[in-house]
């Protein structure tokens, strides 16, 4: 009996961590965004937070930790307790590009546990409406005729739209000046006001300003047109097939988060995408990806390889 009693106590002790996860979440959950409010990653986070609050009955708060091309927010999550209460809405910059363009980053891919794929957003080539160009070819011609005149904004050094614009510069032999911002919101504000003349950004951020006439969309950076802006040609149609790329969002947790917690989060996210988020994303120009933890892991790995190639071609040096 004594031996049985000891085994029972030991078994109960070993089972406690797993059992403790079954009530997740029992308090507020934080969704960290590595960019200021107003950009597409922030929009995805807020839509997801609302749906998870409905599913869980616990507060789900969005915290914007902008800076260093999203890596400040990512580092916060990487170093958080692996309990599921601090999660990251990861974007291409901090999840795939940082290793290609920064000398050191304070975290590694293995510091995260992918949970789900969320959205993908191809970039648009945008200009301030006062710029006298109506096509991507005209923009390139103007940049060649007046080297150094045009300033282009990015969401920060080492972000996807920085590398893609550098790819356009290298492939076309033009001279344009990079002006990095701390996120999509501030960059778009200065494009609208004319402080910068050019920006690659995504449909959700750009659409209100396109419709108002303050920003002009010249091309969509992929092979097929968008249903939201069907009149905008693609970069393939415009004669610049190399200029293809997007930003994206994925949900990740700190590594070593218990599997039952990851399963609970992933199941809730997949249900939200199926039931309401697909429509909510599309209404705002976001393209739902959907996908479980395995799909997210494979997608991130493929994107890391892609952006390594682009960084090498553009000569963007690690900082």
Residues 47 and 184 in one domain: no
Residue appearing with tokens 């986070």: 45
Residue 17 confidence (pLDDT): 44
Question: What is the b/e burial string over 235-268, where b = at least 16 CB atoms within 10 angstroms of the residue's CB?
Answer: bbebebebbbbbbbbbbbbbeebbebbbebbbeb
Longest dimension (CA), the chain: 91
For the chain, which ranges sit under pLDDT 50? 1-20
Number of domain units in the chain: 2
Residue 2 confidence (pLDDT): 46
SS3 87: strand
- Encode pLDDT of 228-284 as tens digits: 899 999 999 999 999 999 989 999 999 999 999 999 999 999 999 999 999 999 888
The closest of 214, 155, 218, 150 to 185, measured between CA atoms, is 155
Residue 159 confidence (pLDDT): 83
Q: Give the tokens for residue 64.
A: 């914007």
10 located within any domain: no
Contacts of 17 (CB under 8 A, 6+ apart): 258
| Range of the structural domain that residue 263 is part of | 27-121+247-314
67 located within any domain: yes
* 309 C-beta neighbours (distance < 10 Å), count: 10
12 located within any domain: no
The pTM (predicted TM-score) of the whole model is 0.80
Residue 22 confidence (pLDDT): 64
Q: Would you say 68 and 156 are in contact if contact means Cβ atoms under 8 Å apart?
A: yes
Residues 165 and 211 in one domain: yes
Contacts of 303 (CB under 8 A, 6+ apart): 92, 95, 96, 248
Q: Give the tokens for residue 1.
A: 């009996």
Residues 227 and 254 in one domain: no
Bridge partner list, 154 = 180
Residues 126 and 223 in one domain: yes
């Amino acid at each position: 009996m004594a031996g049985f009693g000891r085994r029972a106590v030991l078994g109960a002790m070993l089972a406690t961590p797993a059992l403790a996860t079954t009530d997740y979440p029992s308090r507020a959950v934080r969704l960290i965004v590595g960019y200021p409010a107003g950009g597409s990653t922030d929009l995805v986070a807020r839509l997801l937070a609302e749906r998870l609050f409905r599913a869980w009955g616990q507060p789900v708060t969005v915290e914007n930790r902008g800076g260093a091309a999203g890596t400040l927010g990512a580092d916060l999550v990487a170093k958080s307790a692996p309990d599921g209460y601090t999660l990251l809405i990861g974007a291409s910059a901090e999840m795939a590009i940082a290793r290609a363009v920064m000398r050191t980053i304070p975290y590694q891919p293995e510091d995260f546990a992918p949970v789900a794929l969320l959205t993908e957003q191809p970039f648009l080539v945008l200009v301030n409406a006062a710029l006298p160009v109506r096509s991507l070819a005209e923009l390139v011609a103007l940049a060649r005729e007046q080297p150094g005149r045009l300033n282009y904004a990015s969401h920060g050094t080492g972000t996807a739209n920085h590398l893609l614009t550098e790819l356009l510069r290298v492939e076309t032999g033009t001279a344009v000046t990079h002006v990095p911002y701390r996120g999509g919101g501030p960059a778009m504000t200065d494009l609208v006001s004319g402080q910068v003349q050019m920006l690659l950004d995504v449909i959700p951020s750009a659409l209100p300003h396109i419709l108002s006439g303050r920003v002009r969309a010249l091309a969509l950076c992929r092979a097929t047109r968008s249903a939201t802006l069907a009149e905008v040609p693609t970069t393939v149609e415009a004669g610049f097939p190399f200029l293809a790329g997007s930003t994206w969002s994925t949900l990740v947790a700190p590594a070593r988060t218990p599997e039952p917690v990851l399963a609970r989060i992933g199941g809730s996210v997949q249900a939200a995408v199926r039931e309401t988020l697909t429509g909510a994303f599309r209404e705002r120009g976001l393209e739902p990806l959907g996908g479980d933890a395995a799909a997210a892991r494979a997608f991130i790995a493929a994107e890391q390889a892609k952006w390594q190639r682009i960084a090498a071609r553009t000569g963007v040096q690690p900082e």
